[in-house]
Chain A
Amino acid sequence: MNIPRRHFLKGSLSAGVALVAGSQLVRSLAFADKLVTSKQNGTFSRQMRYFMDTHDRAHGTFPSKLSREDLEAFYRKYEKACYDEGVIPVTLHVGYDDGRAFCLTLAPDADAVKRAHARAGLPFDEITEIKTAAAGDTFFRK
């Protein structure tokens, strides 16, 4: 899977960075072939955006009991469901004691995140499109 050069020239810098990061992730993933063949010309057909979805035991959207071992088993299903819907599961943040989870994904839209959850049989509270900021970010006037 090679990203055409014109993407680097045409797109904004941030889009380019996202494409490169996304392509490196995709290359390293077990289901990369399936994802790539489902996308136009071996590239993402649309710019990917970041989403955070939430789960809470108090709302019935997080298992009543979840161990780290349970998550390892579940994760395989979740990861495959994401790739099948063109979603990159960037980072799960799991609060085992409090029964909450915050899942950071890259996806073309919120609906793809919703479909990945449906595929894995996983209910959720909300999906929020987000932008991130950290102390070390280059494009940040503090």
Chain B
Amino acid sequence: MKPMRFFMDTHDKTRNTFPQKLTPQDFEGFFAKYESACYAEGVIPVRLHVGYDEGRAFCLNMAPDAEAVKRAHDKVGLPFDSITEVNMATPGDTFFRR
């Protein structure tokens, strides 16, 4: 297994990268497809953050590179706005000099 990095990709209804209408029920159906596509491309879907009212999504994935994240999206026909490699910071982090 290659070293994994973290990526956040974005979707927005106003840019047609998020469905015009998505209910939590619709999303449960879609998630299974998305999850399989991720595994097929060696991507771990860590957590999806979905704004149902505003029509936006922020998907946190672990992947060897951004290309793998892109391929997982292509596999389910899901367009996106951007893929950003990220590092996290939380109040509880051990290696964080505050």
Contact = CB atoms under 8 A, between A and B. Distances in A.
Interface of A: 25, 28-29, 50, 52, 54, 68, 71-72, 75-76, 79, 89-98, 100-102, 104, 126, 128-135, 140-142
Interface of B: 6, 8, 10, 24, 27-28, 31-32, 35, 45-54, 56, 58, 60, 82, 84-92, 96-98
B8 A93 contact: yes
A93 B60 contact: yes
A55 B1 CA distance: 32
**Across the A-B interface, the 9 shortest Cβ-Cβ residue pairs:** A95-B84, A128-B51, A93-B86, A130-B49, A134-B47, A92-B89, A98-B84, A142-B32, A100-B84
22 contacts: A68-B87, A71-B89, A75-B96, A90-B90, A93-B8, A93-B60, A94-B87, A98-B84, A100-B8, A102-B8, A126-B54, A128-B56, A129-B53, A130-B49, A130-B50, A131-B49, A134-B45, A134-B46, A134-B47, A135-B35, A135-B45, A142-B32
A93 B58 CA distance: 11
A131 to B, nearest CB: 6
A142 B58 contact: no
Contacts of B49: 50, 52, 104, 130-132
A27 B91 CA distance: 12
A94 B51 contact: no
Contacts of A102: 8, 58, 84, 86
